[in-house]
Structure 1
Amino acid sequence: MSELYGELGDISEPEFCESWTARTFCMARSAFEMVVRSAEEETGEAAAGDEFCYIDYLRDPDLGPVGVVRIKSAEVSTPDWVDVLGAVAEGVQEFMMSHHRMVWPICGDHGLGLHVGYFHEAAVWKCTGGTAEGHVVRAIDPAVHL
């Protein structure tokens, strides 16, 4: 991000931060809607509430202006859709655990809670059961077919 800001030197720091954060926030909202829909369909529980907090941006003294969106303890500060989706999925997963005291999602084969991972440039739910490396259960985005 600091490289991009350096290339756009004509834009003011506050304007850059606002633009960066708006873009990240827009992606995070889209990802949030997708992951929440999946969580609610699979668990029958509401997957949103006051526990979700969005922060406009934080300023990192070493990197310059940094736009950050926070979902529970997951920080979203990347322009990459796959990374945003992974961070949001972790935030929704954390919400389900803390608010409903339930593990979501769960591997149908091993009965274990899944973890966010990345496979072939896609955010995925991975299970640590089975082989030493575990296995990919499915893409987080239902439109992505692995």
Structure 2
Amino acid sequence: MAELYGERGEIPESEFCESWTARTFSLARSAFETVTRSAEQDTGVAATGDDFCYIDYVCDPDLGPVGVVRIKSAEVSTPDSAEVLGAVAEGVQEFVMSHHRVTWPVCGEHDRGLHVGYFQETAVWECSGGTTDGHVVRAIDPAVQP
């Protein structure tokens, strides 16, 4: 909210709600491109297609100016870029696993499927293997170093 306020200043509630949802949708579309590119490079299988509706944006007139952004069936209710990236990564991961029967991504050290986590405000892939409580394998966005 602070970022949005910093960008736009004080605005009416309805305009704020529309901006909030538009920002979340824009972040989700960008995250989708990043994550699907990574999935396709790592697995060699298509992570997109007509079989799966990834990102859906619905503005219900009964709910007022607030829209809903969904990745698969999960609602993305934050304009925080790391959280949006994590939600999109989970949706793409679910598709790759259910549609192609491929575990993605996998920890090279422990040969286990990874899970979304957050480290220093960065969305990361985490492994639960090893003798400790697990470890961060890499950032979900390959261009970011956690």
TM-aligned CA deviation for residue 23 of structure 1: 1.1
Which range moved further: 38-47 or 97-106? 97-106
CA distance, structure 1, for counterparts of residue 46 and residue 39 of structure 2: 8
Q: Which amino acid aligns with 1:54?
A: D
Q: Unaligned 5+ residue runs, structure 2?
A: none
Count of residue pairs brought into register by the alignment: 139
User: Structure 1: which 5+ residue stretches go unaligned?
Assistant: none
Offset of 1:19 from its aligned partner? 2.6
**Structure-2 change in CA distance of 1:9 and 1:26 (3 Å):** closer
Residue identity opposite 1:97 in structure 2: M
Contact 1:17–1:57 (8 Å) recurs in 2: no
Which residue type is aligned with residue 92 of structure 1?
V
Q: Percent identity?
A: 69
Residue aligning to 2:108: 108
Name 2:138's counterpart in structure 1: 138
8 A contact 1:24–1:68 mirrored in 2: no
| Alignment check: 8 A CA contact 1:117 1:125 kept | yes
Q: TM-score, normalised by structure 2?
A: 0.82
Matched, 1:72 2:76: no
Which of 58, 64, 73 is the equivalent residue of 1:56? 58
What per-residue deviation string (whole Å, max 9, x for no partner) do you get for residues 53-88 of structure 1?
4132469x8xx8643211112321101000000000
The answer to whether the Cα contact below 8 Å between 1:74 and 1:90 also exists between their aligned partners in 2 is no
Aligned-residue offset at 1:101: 1.3
- Indicate the residue corresponding to 1:34 in structure 2: 34
- Residue 118 (structure 1) shift: 0.4
Contact 1:55 1:68 in 2 (8 A): yes
State the partner residue of 1:93: 93
Q: Equivalents in 2 of 1:123, 1:66: separation in Å?
A: 26
